[in-house]
Amino acid sequence: MNVSPWHNTGDNMRDNRKLLFHLMMDFYLATTDGTHKASIHGKMGHLTRKAYTQIEWEGGVKHRIEQLLALVYQEWGFYCDPERYFQSANLYLDQILESKSGMPVSLGAIVLYLAEHLDLPIYPVNFPTQLVLRAELDDEVCFIDPRNGQFISRHLLAIWFEGHLGFGHKLTEKDLARAKSLELAERFNQVVKMTLMREGKNLETLAFIDHLLKQTPEDPYEIRDRGLVLANMECVHAAIHDFDYFIEHCPDDPTAWLLAAQVSELKQLRYPLH
């Protein structure tokens, strides 16, 4: 994942547990006609009210968190299907609330949304392998796998960490800290773009990138990604323009060298020698 230096590095939403939900709503509205917007909010409000009435509030914080996880994953039946992990249906809130199927980032968004409304100390962790949730209790910090709502040990997280980054990489407290909003948004946006492009949904990908460019119009990384989509759609002239912009503004980025070669090939296709 590239974190664009073009973005503001401020983190005004660090403690906002509903950030992922808002990002998912923005994605939904940017790539659909928004027909089910009211229904999504209505269903989330319904789940919040059900959780509030079914949780036993006189117990400790960890017990309340355990009850919430049992509601989400056992009684309500939300789950992660490994056979259809990277599918856009797992990112559209209207479809997730209907099918109950999602991926870690989307199921985590639902848990975090509920935690915010129920004032439960659950926060996102921008872990390398997937989104992880952390529950900050009075005397300990516990970690939750949003794929299934199960608590996971630091030992298992250390194994995941080393397995992903390579032998010798040791897990630190920094790696398990609350996610910064900018990093979380960058990660979500990359997951969305990769998922849509894998499915060949070029128009939806363009719509989403255009949405992001309204926030940061000169971001060379988003312009580069738009060029990749345009190239897939054989819009050669527009793709070349975007690639040239990225190469000019980020000449030291490793992908700039690869794109320079691709631009040369595209120009040959557009202006073949006779």
User: Could you tell me if 158 and 186 lie in one domain?
Assistant: no
Is position 2 within any domain? no
State how far the Cα of 231 lies from the Cα of 206, in Å rounded to an integer.
12
User: Could you tell me if 204 and 157 lie in one domain?
Assistant: no
Report pLDDT digits (tens) over 81-90. Answer: 888 888 999 9
Q: Which domain holds residue 190?
A: 182-270
pLDDT of residue 40: 97
Tokens of residue 194, six digits: 């990769």
User: Could you tell me if 238 and 195 lie in one domain?
Assistant: yes
Is position 12 within any domain? no
> For residue 223, what are the contacts with CB-CB under 8 A and spacing of at least 6?
213, 242, 245, 246
Between residues 269 and 151, the one the model is more confident about: 151
Is position 246 within any domain? yes
Report pLDDT digits (tens) over 75-118. Answer: 999 999 888 888 999 999 999 999 999 999 999 999 999 999 99
**Among 116, 148, 176, which residue terminates a domain?**
176
Is position 85 within any domain? yes
Is position 5 within any domain? no
Phi, psi angles (nearest 5°) of residue 134? -120, 135
User: Could you tell me if 196 and 158 lie in one domain?
Assistant: no
User: Could you tell me if 68 and 166 lie in one domain?
Assistant: yes
Q: Which helix (H) or strand (E) segment is 210 a member of?
A: helix 202-215
- The CATH number for 151's domain is 3.10.620
Number of domains within the chain: 2
pLDDT of residue 6: 43
pLDDT of residue 17: 86
Report pLDDT digits (tens) over 15-56. Answer: 478 999 999 999 999 999 999 999 999 999 999 999 999 999
Mean pLDDT of 112-130: 95
Contact assessment for residue 120 and residue 64, using Cβ atoms and an 8 Å cutoff: yes
Q: What is the pTM of this model?
A: 0.89
**Among 134, 156, 176, which residue terminates a domain?**
176
State how far the Cα of 115 lies from the Cα of 225, in Å rounded to an integer.
34
pLDDT of residue 32: 97
Tokens of residue 77, six digits: 């039946």
Mean pLDDT of 130-156: 95
Give the burial string for 92-115 (b: 16+ CB within 10 Å, else e).
bbbbbbebbbbbbbbbbbbbbbbb
Mean pLDDT of 137-159: 94
Contact assessment for residue 57 and residue 119, using Cβ atoms and an 8 Å cutoff: no
User: Could you tell me if 172 and 199 lie in one domain?
Assistant: no
Mean pLDDT of 203-216: 97
pLDDT of residue 111: 98
Tokens of residue 132, six digits: 């992880």
**Among 135, 158, 176, which residue terminates a domain?**
176
User: Could you tell me if 229 and 119 lie in one domain?
Assistant: no
User: Could you tell me if 30 and 154 lie in one domain?
Assistant: yes
Residue 198 pLDDT exceeds 90: yes
- Residue 123 bridge partners (DSSP): 134
Is position 126 within any domain? yes
Beta strands 122-125 and 132-136 are: antiparallel
Mean residue pLDDT of the chain comes to 90
User: Could you tell me if 142 and 225 lie in one domain?
Assistant: no
31, 192, 238 from 204: Cα distances, Å = 5, 10, 17
> For residue 170, what are the contacts with CB-CB under 8 A and spacing of at least 6?
158, 161, 162
Which residue from 21, 27, 36, 19 is spatially nearest to 192, judged by alpha carbons? 27
Instruction: Determine how many CB atoms are found less than 10 A away from the CB of residue 134.
Output: 19
Is position 14 within any domain? no
Residue 213 pLDDT exceeds 50: yes
User: Could you tell me if 67 and 97 lie in one domain?
Assistant: yes
Is position 4 within any domain? no
User: Could you tell me if 172 and 194 lie in one domain?
Assistant: no
- The CATH number for 249's domain is 1.25.40.10
Mean pLDDT of 192-221: 96
User: Could you tell me if 64 and 190 lie in one domain?
Assistant: no
Beta strands 122-125 and 150-152 are: unpaired
